[in-house]
Amino acid sequence: MREKKLVYFLDFADGVGGSSKVLLTQAYIMRQRGHQVKMVLPVQEYKMPVKECIEICKRYELELGYARYTSYTCMENIDILRSIEDCEDIVRLLESNKPDLVHSAQLNIAVELATRNLRIPHLMNIYPVDCETFNLNWLKVYPQYHSADSRLFSERWGKGFGITSRCIRVAYEGGERREKRIRTKRDTIITILSIGVFCEHKNQLEIIKFVLQCKQNLRAVQLICLGDYNNNYGRKCREFVVKHRLEEYIKFEGFALNIEDYFSRADLFVLASIVESYPGVIVESMANEVPVISTPVAGVPELLVDGENGLLTEGYGAENIYEAFLRYLALAEKGQVKQIVKNARCTYLENHTFATVGDQLDDYYQWIVHDYKNKNISYLTVDEVSQEFQKALADVKQEEISSEMRSLIWFLYHAFLKIGQKDNQKIVIWGAGFWGSIVLEWIRVWGKGTEFIGFIDTKKYGTYLDYPIIQKEAVEECGTIFVAMEDTKAIRDVVSYLEIQGKVRNQDFFLSCNSPVMKI
């Protein structure tokens, strides 16, 4: 592909997660191939990108730019009014750079609207999504070109929106070949790595509980946790360690750029995620010849084959990890782990090198630029999108709309549009707590013509906010249920119950707290 001007928009700059690393690496590969590359980092009020993010850009010798915008990880959470406001800043930046193609990470609607204004093709890397997301007829502000690092999500986004998508794998360069010492004696401490920002979706608490099982069964292990742990979930994990006296077994190292140093001392890598696309840390483990135990999440089984180039758990709990660990020990004693590591290295070389991924990117960029020039796409403009939502706001009392509600207008607009089309206008809220009170305000402001009948809560009785707390069987008589809770496990339990009753998300019921909620 001839030299092109490429502008990349990072998703989040308050930490360096998997999606950020993917885009930074893709920009670096294209710079190595002779293209003019600029990396734009998001800035918000009183908040600048973290130094680790800037350090990676400097290491990759990427020209830096800054702009005000916000990215989103699922359609339901888009702040459309903020995206419209940020669009003007993005237009100015792109006008000054005049790129041939723009490439962003996650759902970046401000950039999408700006590129439409300037007629520049825009590619988005977007990852986990639930099939039920596409049950709403979203206004067309999503991209026309998409990529993901797993076939699963590439096909899901492509089919869901009827757009072009390609699977482009995670790229990694490193992990020089070396002889790994495979542990075979049970009295030798086995060093285990876990890498990732601490969060429920990464499920690190189950890895910690697995270490507790090892301790109880006299298995000598040490777990090294890399990733930011300064959040509520991280505190929960550290409290568990202290409570069960695991301090000598588990070390929290925080964010690290020199992961190869940790791989050189590791005997095993464990990933316990319940929501992923295709984790780059698995690629890094394969390249550095560290055997992998992983949950069978999302696109992982596309390349990781149990017993051939890694070990897959049967479930997502500590007991599942422990069972896979025992299989690892048995294979190590038979001298068979070396072959698994060798096969994993071959998987890395076939799918994840800079050369392989670079060829895929070059080919896709070339195709996108050609396709964009040769097809007549009729886009909603930023002015048309703005008019649509100003009209929606005009239908409600402005004094009743809080700043939090304004940020959710995208979701509320589509959800209540769907509710308004139903014959059955009865609504029930599942969850008599903080989020239940929030949803009740949504209904009061947006639910014209609806009838709110009460709250469902399996742990509370009587009334809440002067409305009755009723039995869960009441969902049968309602046209719409709002699941109003924040705890991921509680949401899954309620969703499972509703689905057994034949209810469909984003059609019969909606979640107040939205994110990809993979079923386990």
441-461 residue pLDDT tens: 999 999 999 999 999 999 999
Strand order of the sheet with strand 122-125?
Answer: 63-67, 36-42, 5-9, 101-105, 122-125, 145-148, 164-167
Tell whether the model's pLDDT for residue 314 goes beyond 60. yes
Residue type, 281: V
Q: Are strands 250-254 and 221-226 parallel, antiparallel or unpaired?
A: parallel
Q: How far apart are CA 519 and CA 515, in angstroms?
A: 12
Q: Which three-class secondary structure state does DSSP give residue 14?
A: coil
DSSP 196: S
Task: Report pLDDT digits (tens) over 158-184.
Answer: 999 999 999 999 999 975 555 554 544
- The arithmetic mean of pLDDT across residues 246-270, rounded, is 92
Residue 401's pLDDT band, with cuts at 50, 70 and 90, is: confident
Q: How far apart are CA 403 and CA 329, in angstroms?
A: 55
Which tokens belong to 70? Answer: 């916000």
Q: Which of 320, 310, 316 shows the shortest CA–CA distance to 298?
A: 316
DSSP symbols for 115-172: HHHHT--EEEE-----GGGGGS---S-S-SEEEESSHHHHHHHHHHHT-EEEE-PPP-
- The arithmetic mean of pLDDT across residues 27-34, rounded, is 97
Residue type, 343: N
Are 208 and 250 in contact by the 8 Å Cβ rule? The answer is yes
Sign of the Cα torsion 470, 476, 478, 480 reads: positive
* Selected residue with higher pLDDT from 12 and 446: 446
Q: Which three-class secondary structure state does DSSP give residue 221?
A: strand
Q: Which position has the token pair 């390349």?
A: 303
Tell whether the model's pLDDT for residue 151 goes beyond 50. yes
Look at 184-188, 265-269, 306-310, 453-457 and tell me which has the smallest mean pLDDT.
184-188
Quote the distance between the C-alpha of residue 246 and its chain's center: 30
Q: pLDDT value at position 12?
A: 85
Q: Which of 19, 97, 37, 101 shows the shortest CA–CA distance to 364?
A: 101
Q: Which position has the token pair 């359609």?
A: 75
Q: pLDDT value at position 379?
A: 84
Cβ atoms within 10 Å of 61's Cβ, excluding its own? 10
Tell whether the model's pLDDT for residue 284 goes beyond 90. yes
- The arithmetic mean of pLDDT across residues 146-166, rounded, is 96
- The arithmetic mean of pLDDT across residues 135-149, rounded, is 95
Are 69 and 111 in contact by the 8 Å Cβ rule? The answer is yes
- The arithmetic mean of pLDDT across residues 84-94, rounded, is 96
Residue 50's pLDDT band, with cuts at 50, 70 and 90, is: confident
- The arithmetic mean of pLDDT across residues 248-273, rounded, is 92
Q: How many percent of the chain have pLDDT more than 70?
A: 96
Q: pLDDT value at position 398?
A: 76
Q: pLDDT value at position 518?
A: 56
Sign of the Cα torsion 167, 173, 179, 184 reads: negative
Q: pLDDT value at position 15?
A: 74
* Selected residue with higher pLDDT from 76 and 518: 76
- The arithmetic mean of pLDDT across residues 261-288, rounded, is 94
Tell whether the model's pLDDT for residue 342 goes beyond 50. yes
* Burial of residue 390 (number of CB atoms within 10 Å: 0-12, 13-18, 19+): exposed
Q: What is the mean pLDDT of the chain?
A: 92
Look at 388-397, 406-415, 496-505 and tell me which has the smallest mean pLDDT.
388-397
Q: Which of 471, 336, 409 shows the shortest CA–CA distance to 81?
A: 409
Q: pLDDT value at position 431?
A: 96
Question: For residue 315, is it left (φ>0), alpha (ψ between -120 and 50) or beta?
Answer: beta
Q: pLDDT value at position 1?
A: 63
Q: How far apart are CA 308 and CA 342, in angstroms?
A: 9
Are 8 and 36 in contact by the 8 Å Cβ rule? The answer is no
Tell whether the model's pLDDT for residue 480 goes beyond 50. yes
Q: pLDDT value at position 520?
A: 41
Q: How far apart are CA 116 and CA 504, in angstroms?
A: 33
Q: Which of 410, 363, 372 shows the shortest CA–CA distance to 144?
A: 372
Q: Which of 84, 86, 111, 82 shows the shortest CA–CA distance to 99?
A: 111
Q: Where are the beta strands (DSSP E) in 359-512?
A: 426-430, 451-456, 463-464, 467-470, 480-483, 509-511
